[in-house]
Structure 1
Amino acid sequence: MKVQGWLFLLCGLFFAAVDVAYWFWTKSATGQGEPVGTTAMAISVGFAFMIGYYLMFTARRIGDQPEDNKQGEISDGAGEIGFFSPSSWWPLFLCLAAAFAFAGFAIGLWMFLIGLFMVVMAMIGFVFQYYRGNFSH
């Protein structure tokens, strides 16, 4: 995970340099850079640093992984990675609820609030799908 963490941190540095260059490039006669693009790239810098920090922090807690070994083979990473739901309808419901909520931005507050409720319910169903019914432990 250290490699991925460093990759995101370096991407954040690159985005920061590009953001500064973009701001200077778009400076108008008034002396201000273009605010929308500069802000969007600044958010990219923040996201890259946030993900890089998380990966580096997690790498310190769980120790070296097979991908951190420079002499490692592909087969070193073989084995079970995790559990992935084979057939779940909850991602579809979550996406539909999110689409409904985002459409509420354009249509009205009432629709957004209904969509927000639907998103919360779909997230609860998605998270707890294996805690009830045939799949409960």
Structure 2
Amino acid sequence: MDTDYRGAVRRAILDYILLDLSEQERLGIIMPVKPSNLAGRDGYPWHDSVNKGKEFMANHLFITHPIMRKILYDFEHKYANFRLIDILGLRAIMPVTMETFLKHVQDSSKAGAELLEHRWLSDCTDLIDDMREAVEEWMPADSVRTQNYG
């Protein structure tokens, strides 16, 4: 019991020093800065790439070609409810731990990416194949002109 009492007194003194800023200054104790939890707003390696891509598309992408308008129209109608992260599935498993949340985001992102890769890209290639004449009239006739565009 004496050991428990001494341990409790030591913890109380330590808590007093750690919680009181004036005591920290008086004793010259410098507390380390706690790392802030940015809740996913920083640290993703793709974040800068996405922002640069958005900026490039806003400044350089023009959808005047008929095939681009058709692809955009089809995407807006066929995939209007598409979300990369399954929000309804996330609500169904609430409350979640951070591990469960991360696993759900990874799984739903992977499923969404597979859907885009297999279905949407297939739809795009079918549209391009159907509108081949419109695509070919915009393409250069020889490889020298193609290299000059690159």
**TM-score (norm: length of structure 2):** 0.31
User: Which structure's CA Rg is the greater one?
Assistant: 2
**TM-score (norm: length of structure 1):** 0.33
